[in-house]
Structure 1
Amino acid sequence: MPSAIVTGATGILGRQIVFELGQHRQQWPTIHALSRSKKEDYPETVIHNHIDLQSSPDEMAHDLENVRGEYIFFAAYLAQEKEEDAWEVNGRMLSNFLSALEKTGAIKDVKRIILVCGAKQYGVHLGVPKQPMIEDAPWLTDTSKWPPNFYYNQQNILHKFCQEHGKDWVVTYPNDVIGYVTGNFMNLSSALALYALVSKELSSSSGGEDSGITFPGSPAFYTKFDSFTNSKLHAQFCLWAALEPRAANQAFNVVNGDVESWQNLWPKVAHYFGTKVKPDQFKAAYNGAAAANTDASSSMDMAPQPPVSAEAETLGLVGTPALEPNVVEQHIDLVKWSQRSDVKEAWGRVAEREGLDKESFGKATWGFLGFVLGREFDLVISMSKAREAGWTGYRDTWASLKGVFEEMREAGVLPKA
């Protein structure tokens, strides 16, 4: 029976892999969850091991002395402000970890390594990519046009290592992950829920009729398409990919399987929190007037050339508007919004009234949510390759988002009722 090693075991994706493995005790009797600190009550089949992935191979080898597993799920990630630092830090973490497995001799037992990456593979942080996004898209390696992408570094390290040691590998590309981990606010769902909750409080506190809440992202993106990844679905995919012969030495997109838009999701979010969408929410954006009693909108340039330009000649797009630079635009700048005195006061009222964790609002990653909602182009990601390999998993995106909101209620971050 297979055994597993999971790095990044307290992150949104890594944690879910651990818990998914734990649900299949007959198939996965031994699971090693690796992290710097244990933040979870893992299933009884899970063995927690301390590891600092920023340490040296020798130090990691000491921590991994008694850790053995046939399947490795590398879901660790360390955010950096500069892309060059992300390349160096995240590449070194993977490389040193693999070296540590050599030093302990554990590499002899390994059959397959699953590396968790993301849709940043396609340059979605730089501008519009070719649509739909397909796994054979060219890597954006021209550093005169685009910054280094640490996913490329990690994958090159993995490919070389597996070739040298005769091991299989799999890489996953999730996008806009929907999931929740207690105490981990680097995710779309937490900040989105807190924004909706406080916006509703502000809308209702004036004493008049509830005027509704406003989508804070790009008015253009509101009607564009996006592809999301349920963290539980991603975990199920990883377990399938670990054992599926057809998945060996392949990279796969992993998204829910539907294609959503915020014009469909936002009214559902509003209704969930007991309010509605403000009917003229984008009026100020389209008539050029400053939005009354809200933060000014913001705009940030993306890369000088969008990723689709890498294939411009082949696609026949030379000389077209498709190659113009993109921007990230927020109808409401969420970082500025979160610092407003009336917003903080509204959160204080809600937290006191509902008995919520008062620290959660300050921990939310407002800049991250603003970026995710501020892109002005479609994000359509194909699942054809995984389907052809036999994967049949699917999740409804709204049901995924609603499910995470329910988890946040149970954790005391959102009101119970």
Structure 2
Amino acid sequence: MTDKIALIVGASGIIGSNLARELLATGWVTYGLSRTPKDDLPGLRPVAANLLDPASLEAALADVAPTHVFITSWMRNDTEAENIRVNSALVRNVLAALSPKKSVQHVALVTGLKHYLGPFESYAKGRNPLPTPFREELPRLDIENFYYAQEDEVFAAAARDGYTWSVHRPHTIIGQAVGNLMNMGTTLAVYASLCKETGRPFQWPGSEAQWNGLSDVTDARVIAKQLAWASTTPSITAACLPAGSRKTASSSLQPSNLCASC
């Protein structure tokens, strides 16, 4: 019997699906939790539940006792206030359903660039741009942000149930994920194909600020390996990590000021 049992929240997404492949390839028992799970990945054990319904989650997870939980999912809403309400509840409900089992050893939460720039609707508005590269010790912005609410739910549950945690903050992500539209690799491939077919030059399709700024793109397979590594490395007890980082943060640091920079 394996001692590594994973529950991936959002296993059909660009990160979750690549993480499932990584964990299955390295011998993990792996469950994929979503409202409408897919069964196209051999070995993945699908779990169907409404993440916003505690009773649905409790019933669906009745026979699942994961050692490691990976939260890679979020739900887009019309306002940031609604994003906060819905996405914090998503995290809170999953971790509350697992709490009585006392099986969880580590929870890994995936957030991203909005931690540093704010929600889509307010990217850097009314503030001087933060210098790049962003560092994990930067304080939170004084603005509503559902990423902060999700982190706080993980911190509270970890303090209650006694497991370790990590937060992972990639920027743009590319990778294989059937049906996923938030995939810059696919977007650029389609754009390049159209340019080739029509004989137009393959010009930069973004903004001047983006062209002149420092940015990064992460392969979803790299994020998957980082998630697996961070969740099983004893020194990673409480850490916020950029994509590709393999440095650590001590559990003695405060959740609002953790650093594990690359």
Q: Common fold, TM-score beyond 0.5? A: yes
- Structure 2 Cα separation of the partners of residues 8 and 220 of structure 1: 32
Query: Any conservation in 1 of the 2:74–2:87 contact (CA below 8 Å)?
Result: yes
RMSD (Å), alpha carbons:
1.9
Aligned to 2:37: 38
Query: Any conservation in 1 of the 2:174–2:217 contact (CA below 8 Å)?
Result: yes
5 Å-filtered alignment, 1:56-205, equals: 57-102=54-99, 105-106=100-101, 108-123=102-117, 125=120, 126-127=123-124, 128-140=129-141, 142=142, 146=143, 148-203=144-199
5 Å-filtered alignment, 1:243-254, equals: 243-254=232-243
- Structure 2 Cα separation of the partners of residues 176 and 162 of structure 1: 28
Aligned to 1:19: 21
Aligned to 2:9: 7
Give the letter aligned to residue 23 of structure 1: A
Aligned to 1:52: 50
- Structure 2 Cα separation of the partners of residues 167 and 178 of structure 1: 30
Q: Gaps (5+ residues) in structure 2?
A: 250-261
Aligned to 1:289: none
Matched, 1:231 2:229: no
Give the letter aligned to residue 41 of structure 1: D
5 Å-filtered alignment, 1:314-329, equals: none
TM-score by length of 1: 0.55
> What is the identity percentage for the equivalent residue pairs of Structure 1 and Structure 2?
29
SS at match of 1:109: coil
5 Å-filtered alignment, 1:206-221, equals: 211-221=200-210
Aligned-residue offset at 1:15: 0.9
Aligned-residue offset at 1:388: 5.6
Aligned to 1:387: 247
Aligned-residue offset at 1:220: 4.3
Higher helix share: 1
- Structure 2 Cα separation of the partners of residues 222 and 165 of structure 1: 45
Q: Is the alpha carbon distance of 1:109 and 1:213 closer, same or farther for their aligned partners in structure 2, counting shifts above 3 Å?
A: same
- Structure 1 Cα separation of the partners of residues 107 and 90 of structure 2: 15
Aligned-residue offset at 1:92: 0.8
- Structure 2 Cα separation of the partners of residues 172 and 388 of structure 1: 12
- Structure 2 Cα separation of the partners of residues 74 and 240 of structure 1: 15
Q: Gaps (5+ residues) in structure 1?
A: 204-210, 256-382, 395-417
TM-score by length of 2: 0.86
Q: Is the alpha carbon distance of 1:220 and 1:133 closer, same or farther for their aligned partners in structure 2, counting shifts above 3 Å?
A: closer
Aligned-residue offset at 1:212: 2.0
Could you report, residue by residue, the CA deviation over 1:142-194 in whole angstroms, capped at 9, with x for unpaired residues?
A: 2xxx3x11010011111011101111111111110111211111221222211
Give the letter aligned to residue 18 of structure 1: A
How many residues align? The count is 241
5 Å-filtered alignment, 1:256-271, equals: none
Point out the structure with max Rg over C-alpha.
1
- Structure 2 Cα separation of the partners of residues 38 and 59 of structure 1: 14
Could you report, residue by residue, the CA deviation over 1:33-84 in whole angstroms, capped at 9, with x for unpaired residues?
A: 112223342232x2111122122x1221011111111111111111223211
- Structure 2 Cα separation of the partners of residues 161 and 220 of structure 1: 39
Aligned-residue offset at 1:213: 2.5
SS at match of 1:201: helix
